[in-house]
Amino acid sequence: MAGIYIHIPFCRQMCYYCDFHFSVSLKRKEELLQALLIEIETRNDYLKNEEIETIYFGGGTPSILKINELDQILELIYKLYSVSKNPEITLEANPDDLSIDYLNGLKQIGINRLSIGIQSFEDKHLKQLNRRHDAREAINSVKNSQEAGFNNINIDLIYGLPGLTNKNWEENLRNALNLSIQHISAYHLSIEHKTVLANFLKKGKIKQLEEKESLNQFNTLVKKTEEQGFLHYEISNFSKDGYFSKHNINYWLQEKYLGIGPSAHSYDYKTRRWNISNNAKYIELINKNESYSETEILSLSEKYNDYILTSLRTVWGADLEKISREFGKGFHDECLKEAEKYIISGQITDTNNRLIISKKGKFIADKIASDLFIVD
Ligand SMILES: C[S@@+](CC[C@H](N)C(=O)[O-])C[C@H]1O[C@@H](n2cnc3c(N)ncnc32)[C@H](O)[C@@H]1O
Ligand code: SF4
């Protein structure tokens, strides 16, 4: 099982919180598309003929591409890779791009999962984040998607925003849950270095939410989604039965993936590789047939730490047998030893040889994982 990720590094506007790789200048879109096609062609041995089960257009804003541009990419992948019979093909989309015509086009070229970046259903907060859409457009984008026949829809939401009260957040969740969607990804706002929000914070224009408030909002999220039949299958991800993101599960369980485009990462069990995060240089180097990426050979403990970090965030937890088998008895014993205090405090359960973070431990999952890390 393997997946392909394609990074579309363009956005129409810069959101104040975002530090993903993108450019708001679309001048080189055509050239970049050609470079993506070259990368798809030249790296087709990376996954060694493994069956491709998932294809994911992420960004940036993939919905900036025209239907025929997305189709060109998909056609080349189908031509050069062995794509499974029913792959999951996801497109991250911004609400303001989702007209009925565009959605019909997406459906026609085989996109079968949408991940819509809604972030908030409140105009005040959408403005605070410098989003292009308003709450009405957010709701309409989901309704249009459903009308076009999409039945596997995720929406992204952000909580923990400056000034967001628990009541506001509940209202956001009510809006989301009224939309009959299959999946919600809800992230706590992270104020990233060099973003506009970081600058606002420095100047005292905004205040970070208190940890107690953030925890309240996380608990509300877990409770409200659970009441509506969503399974909390990863710290930030909630899904109706059968609608997990296969592509992301692939990452969390450390299956192979090929990342295409500037800033995209790839993983082949042994190495991690990342492409240059600069559109102009990516285009130039690809055209000159020169290297545009760096590669790191992973040590056993790095692989183990990655596994702990991602698996502990999921409902399936960390598999102790797998740890013994793939990393050795030393890693297994050390892991159990470090986990003991959390087992005693009830923040981790040891169920059927799997370490699973309990409800009580979920909000501090990353801290727990880092305590279980092994440093060479
Ligand atoms: C890279 S974005 C791409 C999606 C699409 N461009 C959009 O914005 O609608 C993926 C998601 O990451 C989340 N995200 C990005 N930066 C974040 C931050 N600093 N804090 C919390 N969530 C963030 C947002 O929910 C966003 O929809
Ligand atoms: S959140 Fe999405 S639309 Fe906004 S800047 Fe980041 S990638 Fe672009």
| Residue 262, token pair as written in the block | 């500037």
Average pLDDT over residues 145-161: 98
Whole-angstrom CA distances from 68 to 33, 185, 261 are 11, 28, 18
pLDDT greater than 80 at residue 139: yes
Choice among 178-182, 226-230, 360-364 with the minimum mean pLDDT: 360-364
Band (89; pLDDT cuts 50, 70, 90): very high
pLDDT in tens, 209-228: 999 999 999 999 999 999 99
**294: which strand partners?**
274
Model confidence at 171, pLDDT cuts 50, 70, 90, reads very high
Closest CA to 243 of 291, 294, 184: 184
Q: What residue type is assigned to position 41 of the chain?
A: E
Mean pLDDT for 182-192 is 98
Query: Residue range 123-132: average pLDDT?
Result: 97
What is residue 1's predicted lDDT score, i.e. its pLDDT?
82
pLDDT in tens, 282-308: 999 999 999 999 999 999 999 999 999
Please tell me the distance from the alpha carbon of residue 82 to that of residue 1, in angstroms, as a whole number: 11
> What average pLDDT score do residues 36-52 get?
95
Q: Which residues lie closer than 8 Å to 81 by C-beta, 6 or more apart? A: 4, 44, 47, 52
Indicate whether residue 117 lines ligand 1 (CB < 6 A).
yes
Question: What pLDDT was estimated at residue 102?
Answer: 98
What counts of helices (H) and strands (E) characterise the chain? 14, 15
Residues touching ligand 2 (Cβ under 6 Å) are 11, 14-15, 18, 20, 22, 59-61, 94, 117
Q: Is the pLDDT of residue 26 over 80?
A: yes
Work out the average pLDDT over 312-321. Answer: 96
Residue with tokens 């760096």: 294
Q: Whose CA is nearest to atom 1 of ligand 1?
A: 59
3-state class (DSSP) for residue 66: coil
Share of the chain above pLDDT 90, in %: 97
Domain layout of the chain by residue ranges? 2-251, 300-372
CA of 117 to the centre of ligand 2 (A): 8
Confidence of residue 363 (pLDDT cuts 50, 70, 90): confident
Q: Mean pLDDT, to the nearest integer, of 335-358? A: 95
Q: Which residue has the tokens 């990393």?
A: 327
Ligand nearest the Cα of residue 131 is 2
Model confidence pLDDT, tens digit, residues 226-256: 999 999 999 999 999 999 999 999 999 889 9
pTM, entire model: 0.96
How far is 306 from 235, CA to CA, in rounded Å?
16
Structural Rg of the chain based on CA atoms: 21
CA–CA distance, 277 with 227 (Å, rounded to integer): 41
Class of domain 300-372 as given by CATH: mainly alpha
Q: Which ligand is nearest to the CA of 93?
A: 1
From atom 7 of ligand 2, which residue's Cα is the shortest distance away? 60
Report CA(130)–ligand 1 centroid distance (Å). 12
Give the pLDDT band (50/70/90) at residue 132: very high
Decide if pLDDT at 376 tops 80. Answer: no
Nearest CA to ligand 2 atom 2: 60
Confidence category of residue 103, pLDDT binned at 50, 70, 90 = very high
CA dist 153 and 170 (Å) reads 21
The fraction of the chain above a pLDDT of 70, given in percent, is: 100
Mean pLDDT of the chain: 97
- 221 Cα–ligand 1 center, Å: 18
What is the number of other CB atoms lying within 10 angstroms of the CB of residue 319? 17
Ranges of beta strands (E only) in 148-182 are 153-159
Residues 149-156: what's their mean pLDDT?
98
Name the pLDDT band for 148 (thresholds 50, 70, 90). very high
220 close to 212: Cβ distance less than 8 angstroms: no
* Backbone phi and psi for residue 191, each to the nearest 5 degrees, phi listed first: -90, 105
Q: Whose CA is nearest to atom 12 of ligand 1?
A: 156
Instruction: Confirm if 99 and 67 have CB atoms less than 8 A apart.
Output: no
Q: Is the pLDDT reported for residue 359 higher than 80?
A: yes
Q: How confident is the model at residue 48 (pLDDT cuts 50, 70, 90)?
A: confident
Ligand 2: which of 8, 11, 13 to mutate, most ligand atoms within 8 Å of CB? 11
Q: The domain 2-251 belongs to what CATH superfamily?
A: Aldolase class I (3.20.20.70)
Q: Is the CB of 190 under 6 A from ligand 1?
A: yes
pLDDT at 129 over 90: yes
Phi-psi map region of 13: left, alpha, beta (phi>0 left; psi -120 to 50 alpha): beta
CA of 201 to the centre of ligand 2 (A): 20
Q: Is 90 exceeded by the pLDDT of residue 309?
A: yes
DSSP string, 225-247: HHHTT-EEEETTEEE-TT---HH
Q: Which residues contact 307 (CB under 8 A, 6 or more apart)?
A: 254, 318, 322, 323, 327
Q: Ligand 1 centroid to 225 CA: how many Å?
A: 20
